[in-house]
């Protein structure tokens, strides 16, 4: 029934979000939590729960009366054609930049770990071909694929956490004192700068069913992603300590390397890398789909699958042009990326809700 209407459920969309946010959180959060908070960094995700709950309720309120609309249509309806289209143009450019950024980070992960002498072109082309065909197949097929792989991701992630637990040292995680509270609030920018991607799902809101359950599903989501983020930080900071984690490029990968089962089976970091490829595929595909959805609203088009081609080609070039080395990418993420994410994914929907309420449209 849902498939025949070419729609997915809010639950499937949220699974897309959970899979997509995993890649940046795994990359960013251990380093930031270690640098900013120190050994108590594993408690920091709790401070990003409240802004996320606010975001969930903002989205619930926005779609209370517009159950069949997407966020793009609402921007035009509420702000007017000129400002609405300007906002959508900015969003589409930002999504294309993020797509290039995640593509570049995907290649960097392999180049700085197991395949240092490979040309990045190989990684870009293989990923973009997979993403091109996935998104061209439509949101329903893509969401079902991610839903299946997501359960695999959860099983592998939890298994790796349990295998890594014997390597966690209490001295690396404790004590947690009241003096850590202020530094923990500074990590909100890092974590909420990724978790705010939740609002982006509603750009294809016209393809989502049961939007009346946004708040319930959103609250379940925050519980899940908070627990998994804490698990991630426990096994990174807990194994090597915050001073080491703050300095190494791939902290989660390095912590997985320390796993040794029965002192016989080790080198299972390849399993973590395979998992990571899947979540990178999800986040790049999601931003590709978001970009073409926004382009559809921007130009009032009937069909947008052909626009996947120019966006994919743009991402290929931009991945090269974005930065000359990893330091520039990290500076871009830390000083520009996270802040603009919060503006696009949280501040703008809040302004939309406020203006919509004043104009009595929402």
Contact range with another protein by CB under 8 A, out of 64-72, 157-165, 270-278, 296-304: 296-304
Task: Name which of 259 and 311 has its Cβ closer to another protein.
Answer: 311
Rounded to a whole number of angstroms, the minimum distance from the CB of residue 306 to another protein is: 4
Task: Name which of 118 and 169 has its Cβ closer to another protein.
Answer: 118
Q: Which residues pair with 8 in a beta bridge?
A: 208
Task: Name which of 44 and 292 has its Cβ closer to another protein.
Answer: 292
Binders of another protein among residues 332 to 361 (CB under 8 A) are 332, 335-336
Rounded to a whole number of angstroms, the minimum distance from the CB of residue 281 to another protein is: 21
Task: Name which of 165 and 304 has its Cβ closer to another protein.
Answer: 304
Binders of another protein among residues 297 to 336 (CB under 8 A) are 299, 301-304, 306-307, 309-310, 313-314, 316-318, 320-324, 327-329, 331-332, 335-336
Answer yes or no: are the C-beta atoms of 52 and 192 closer than 8 Å. Answer: yes
Task: Name which of 224 and 306 has its Cβ closer to another protein.
Answer: 306
Give me the residue label for tokens 């995993």: 22
349 contacts: CB under 8 Å, gap ≥ 6: 55, 58, 59, 62, 71, 199
Task: Name which of 169 and 309 has its Cβ closer to another protein.
Answer: 309
The site string for another protein over 21-60 (x = CB under 8 A, - otherwise) reads ----------------------------------------
Task: Name which of 4 and 324 has its Cβ closer to another protein.
Answer: 324
Rounded to a whole number of angstroms, the minimum distance from the CB of residue 302 to another protein is: 7
Rounded to a whole number of angstroms, the minimum distance from the CB of residue 244 to another protein is: 22
Give me the residue label for tokens 């990174």: 236
Task: Name which of 236 and 297 has its Cβ closer to another protein.
Answer: 297
Rounded to a whole number of angstroms, the minimum distance from the CB of residue 137 to another protein is: 16
Rounded to a whole number of angstroms, the minimum distance from the CB of residue 314 to another protein is: 5
Task: Name which of 39 and 296 has its Cβ closer to another protein.
Answer: 296
Written in H, E and C, the secondary structure of the chain is: CCHHHCCEEHHHHHHHHHHHHHHHHHHHHHHHHHHHCCHHHHHHHHHHHHHHHHHHHHHHHHCCCCCCCCHHHHHHHHHCHHHHHHHHHHHHHHHHHHHHHHHHHHHHHHHCCCCCCCCHHHHHHHHHHHHHHHHHCCHHHHHHHHHHHHHHHHHHHHHHHHHHHHHCCHHHCCCCCHHHHHHHHCCHHHHHHHHHHHHHHHHHHHHEECHHHHHHHHHHHHHHHHHHHHHHHHHHHHHHCHHHHCCCCCHHHHHHHCCCECCCECCCHHHHHHHHHHHHHHHHHHHHHHHHHHHHHHHCCCCCHHHHHHHHHHHHHHHHHCCCCHHHHHHHHHHHHHHHHHHHHHHHHHHHHHHHHHCCCC
Token duo for residue 257 = 């390397």
Rounded to a whole number of angstroms, the minimum distance from the CB of residue 300 to another protein is: 8
Q: How many residues bind another protein (CB under 8 A)?
A: 26
Rounded to a whole number of angstroms, the minimum distance from the CB of residue 80 to another protein is: 21
Instruction: Report the C-alpha gap between 55 and 188 in whole angstroms.
Output: 14
Rounded to a whole number of angstroms, the minimum distance from the CB of residue 249 to another protein is: 16
Q: Which parts of this chain interact with another protein (CB under 8 A)?
A: 299, 301-304, 306-307, 309-310, 313-314, 316-318, 320-324, 327-329, 331-332, 335-336
């Amino acid at each position: 029934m849902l498939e025949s209407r070419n729609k997915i459920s809010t639950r499937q969309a949220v699974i897309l979000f959970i899979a997509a946010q995993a890649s940046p959180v795994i990359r960013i959060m251990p380093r930031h939590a270690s640098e900013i908070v120190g050994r108590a960094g594993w408690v920091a995700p709790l401070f990003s729960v409240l802004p996320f709950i606010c975001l969930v309720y903002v989205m619930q309120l926005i779609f209370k009366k517009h159950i069949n609309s997407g966020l793009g249509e609402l921007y035009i309806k509420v702000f007017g054609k000129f400002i609405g289209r300007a906002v959508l143009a900015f969003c589409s450019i930002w999504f294309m930049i993020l797509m290039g950024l995640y593509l570049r980070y995907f290649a960097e992960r392999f180049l700085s770990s197991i395949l240092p002498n490979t040309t990045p072109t190989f990684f870009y082309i293989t990923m973009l071909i997979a993403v091109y065909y996935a998104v061209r197949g439509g949101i329903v097929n893509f969401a079902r694929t991610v839903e299946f792989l997501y359960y695999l991701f959860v099983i592998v992630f939890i298994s790796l956490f349990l295998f890594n637990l014997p390597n966690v040292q209490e001295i690396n995680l404790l004590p947690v004192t009241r003096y850590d509270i202020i530094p923990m609030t500074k990590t909100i920018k890092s974590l909420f700068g990724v978790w705010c991607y939740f609002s982006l799902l509603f750009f294809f809101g016209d393809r989502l069913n049961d939007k009346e359950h946004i708040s319930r599903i959103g609250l379940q989501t925050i519980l899940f992603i908070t627990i998994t983020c804490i698990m991630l930080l426990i096994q990174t900071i807990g194994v090597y300590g915050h001073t080491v984690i703050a300095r190494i490029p791939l902290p989660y990968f390095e912590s997985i390397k320390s796993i040794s089962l029965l002192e016989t089976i080790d080198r299972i970091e390849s399993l973590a890398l395979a998992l990571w490829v899947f979540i990178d595929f999800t986040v790049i595909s999601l931003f590709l789909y978001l970009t073409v959805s926004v382009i559809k609203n921007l130009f009032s088009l009937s069909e947008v699958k052909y626009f996947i081609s120019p966006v994919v080609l743009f991402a290929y070039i931009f991945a090269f042009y974005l930065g000359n080395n990893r330091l520039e990418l990290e500076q871009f993420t830390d000083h520009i990326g996270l802040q603009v994410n919060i503006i696009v994914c949280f501040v703008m929907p809040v302004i939309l809700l406020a203006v919509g309420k004043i104009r009595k449209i929402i």
